[in-house]
Structure 1
């Protein structure tokens, strides 16, 4: 039997095509895995769960997904360096992740300059999708504006007129404060802002901050601190009686990452945004919780949900795009509808913000730990400005 050169070439080409088809689609995730471990370790577990589900179902476009994780160390310059290495040396087709808003904005700028799809998981700054928004950047989590709008809706119903603010002095804290002030003042023109405290992120000096707030005699407080800063504020505030007889509305304090460390010191009555995972009884969410517990041997956090939704959303975009070309992925993400454990969400074409919501409720102490009570899901679509307003907020690509 004679084998021709043409037959050999055909066989080689077929084998090469088969290998290319089976080659993994690489995704690069950049996050503060050491500096913000309370959120990012559960986030990584959520990514791992989504990755296992996607690949067990045959991958995407007949190819498995592969995740390449990088730790930005809390430094924007390191995040950008990793983004360059992942795209130029590792051949990733998209970037995901980022926790801090300043890092998210740095990676978004890289994505714009290098035409790389970037699905920001957590960085909440409004600038990411509005003032500095770009064609290649999308966001999964509820933005600072969305959460401020959820809390302002509740705050407007309170009798309090004299308000104070405490928030970290960086993009997230400043953006959340600006949005909350504007929205509450629009709903309640009688509100007076009597004090503001903007400590450096991670370095809140609780004594002076609490004393300054007490001296201003506010009737209510808006809080955007989290992590170790939140623990310091709550402990000193409890000792000094800062929260007695005062309403507090607080961004993200109902997330297990930030609520659990407070234990029985959690301040009852605070109005918060959060994720009361144990109270969400829908079949889709219960299935997510069961799968997450099997994989991580732990209960889910807000970060877990964020990582899980991020990778499933990107996989859905790749399927819709039918390939890995950057502009096709971007086009697929615009108006993409994705099923999540909290229900369907949509990535708006106007600003690339997803409609994923948050739960809003009050804090209480049950069994020696802080919990959310009277929690209700706030659909993110209700707390976003219309497209005509977005066009004024966002540069045209």
Structure 2
């Protein structure tokens, strides 16, 4: 009798554990025509494998994504001439229900980020060179922009002076092109890059009103002429950031004054191998969860560069690994930091790499995921 009772209790515990376990989803945004919208995948949290691909939203050029901290709302930008951002409710089964759509505050939205606390969604519009602040309502839906800013100024140099020999990596230095926007970890300051003007803009941010105020100075110049500042990541302590320059394929470290919210330029290094010559466009970058490894995607060279981060923010080049695809646009780490994914836009696939502990070395996992023109991948939180 006791044995039967113990077996019954164990069965109940197993059933409860099964009931409590929630699937983790990954969302991939794509470009038309190869990609048809947003795809949902179910994640094997033990292996990092992406399975059960399902097209769940067909917003045109749904290339930019971010998900709320609680995983209940997915935000998707349509990278179109009349940019829109959709707020989508995420069901327990991963199905999406549209809450609403609002204007992105410009043309060609290329980046979305939520402020700390999730009360506002920040948008960078590449084609129009504008940024916008969209309020997030209680139910996760979006309100009309509380603020927009138009980048203005003389275009940057057509040829990147810091690029490697033989590089013809020059694009869109013909006017303002906002490429990324993000609040610092404190939420008091917002920074945005403009590739066309070779500038990093600095703002003070009022989370109560959703308004941006230009800081003093309102912007700083890129680390070199024609560099094309693109994306950045903050240090774990929030005392600085690393910024990737698209045309020059360089990485620049900036120190952040936590009181003033202003950046001071530090050291710049190449994101490419020492002996590389020719054209390449630097793209996405991602910092490991412990802040000790920085990974950069190099398009045309089609590699992921790994850098070790020292205590003072100095980067030491460790390795370059082939993505096994073409034109890696962005990189994503899973929630455990054990797997890194490359969105290979031109080869229409996603490749996966295991991340060794503690040195962060990448190893390719021979498991290609077919997706037309992938742009970005985000994970729902593990529950």
* TM-score strictly above 0.5: no
- Identify, as 1 or 2, the structure richer in helix: 1
Structure having greater relative contact order (Cα 8 Å, sep ≥ 6): 1
- Identify, as 1 or 2, the structure richer in strand: 2
